[in-house]
Structure 1
Amino acid sequence: MKLQHIKSYLFFFLRILFAIALGSYVFLTVDFASAWKAFLQFSIPLFIVSFCLSTICSIVIPAMTTNRALRVSGIDISLWESIKINFSMRLYVMILPQVISSGIRWFRYRGPEKGKGWEAASIIFFEKIVQLFFITFSTFVFFLIKINTIPDVLKNSIPLIGVLAMAFFALIVLFLSPQVFRLFGFMFRFARDHFPQFVAKRVDKIEEAIQVYQKLGNRSVVLMFFGYLSAHLIFILSSSVLGFGLGIEMDYIDMGWIRSIVLTLSALPITVGGLGVRELGHIYLMGYLGVDKSVAVTFSLLIFAIQILIALIGACFEIWRFFMHSNTDLKK
């Protein structure tokens, strides 16, 4: 086993311990009898609506936008295959270290010929940058809209969030604009001329992978951005449906900045599946708006339940994939 994998599993174990610690803290500070009562009163049809919206924004739309970059990169994967990969990745992200789960997705994108490795890596990286841009930018806009009602501690973070949004947008422009890419081309030339040969070769691969996006037409770029924006807005709508079912009196804008912040915190590699971080984030942020702790925890657990259901669908696809490969090997 490689040293990198050993480190990944060690950090993964520490994340499990931290998730248990945070979960224990939530358990000791929240009235779970009230949380269970709120859970039992929740409407199943609204849960199904929220689940469908979550599936659209986290599985279907990302598959549609990613496939545009896949086709330009020369990676031949159908839309249905991309959807199945996204479902499977929801499973692996919850049960495996991030390095391993990202590696599995990278491997799936490359296809049976195992080519286009750098292009597949650039697609995953670009997708993450765009998602972070829309999270930070929407949070920045929502804070400005609610500037008179958000807590002072969050008002102080507005400049930082704006800077982060601009930084992510600059990276996106670097991918999509040939003019900007040429402007920063000196960095690639410097690396090729002054770094060891094995580094220079990788720099060439990174440069080629980034240039793939410059082949996207304006229409494809607009559609991709519209897809990412729609996914984020539907993501907030899905949360609003859950909030409505629990009787949380909160408008779309407030739900938007709360869910954007919690999503960012949950993505930090400090626990498993965002456990503990997600619950504490909802408790404190919703608490600013007068939402009871038990209701906030119930809201958070319902979101987690939706993530588990999506991961279970991914598990079904993986089991089906295993049996299909087994049958193919037996025929050979």
Structure 2
Amino acid sequence: MDTPKNSDQAADFKFGYVTIIGKPNVGKSTLMNRIIGQKISITSHRAQTTRHRILGIHTDPEKQIVFVDTPGIHSVAKKSNRKTINRVINKTAISSIDGVDVVCLMIPANGWTDGDKLVLKALEHVTTPVVLVINKLDKLRSINDLLPLIAESNELYKFADIVPVSAIGRGHNDNVDRLMEVLATHLPHAPAGFDEDQITDRSFRFLVSELVREQLFRRLGDELPYATAVEVTEFVLEPERALINCDIWVEKDSHKSMVIGKKGEALKQIGTFARKNSEVLLERKVFLELFVKVRSGWSDNARDLYSLGYDEGS
């Protein structure tokens, strides 16, 4: 762990870890990106876009909060969710609850679902303060519409606090500042654990692979993105440019043809948008090449998953 650059921090400075958990596609990654002020976790309208545990680091003069963005916790009872990758993703999310200072459970403003209650069940024996974050405040006509949901939530669990927010950050009434104040009350007095200009623990190499995967989720059909993975095979960072090659893994020859598209058009679009986003991230010109390869059964093979970094929860 890096040591902070500023050794003269005030004695009342606070530092701690906050895990954000919830069902898939509830807005966890959007909230963390909003707080950090930069895209750390990829997003799309599809559930389970996030597959890895990712740290986002917020630092200000009073505190440093390390947010742990997690994959959505989901049921693996259904046959379609019994693959090894789904069990590993769930384990990654649940293990992220241990050893942190605060847990943020996020649910949507339209009320509790079975999926939300499945996540809540994982908190049954947690002694860490749990803050309920009710997302999509911007969808409500009035804050008073939340009163029945807040009352129901207090019956379900003894939350340390309940904070409605708009993770998407539209307008000035998103209430994210209020959430940060609440979280700070539960953090210990301690010096920063990371440099003040560090915003994540992940490498540029990893973040670029995620930007490619984001485009797969945004531009392919309903099921296909879940059968794909991205591996960076070459990453050369020069002062004014980056040379990057990535393999896109698919499970079938038919998947390969769909990722490539007619006359290579689908792969070209994926590469173009991933390259543009990578240039913003790396702040230099990016030359990105993508190769689509078939590896049958990779998502149900523990060795393949390990090579792709899916071992954080083990």
Pick the structure with more strand per residue: 2
**TM score, norm. by length of structure 1:** 0.30
Pick the structure with more helix per residue: 1
1 or 2 for the larger relative contact order (CA 8 Å, sep ≥6)?
Answer: 1
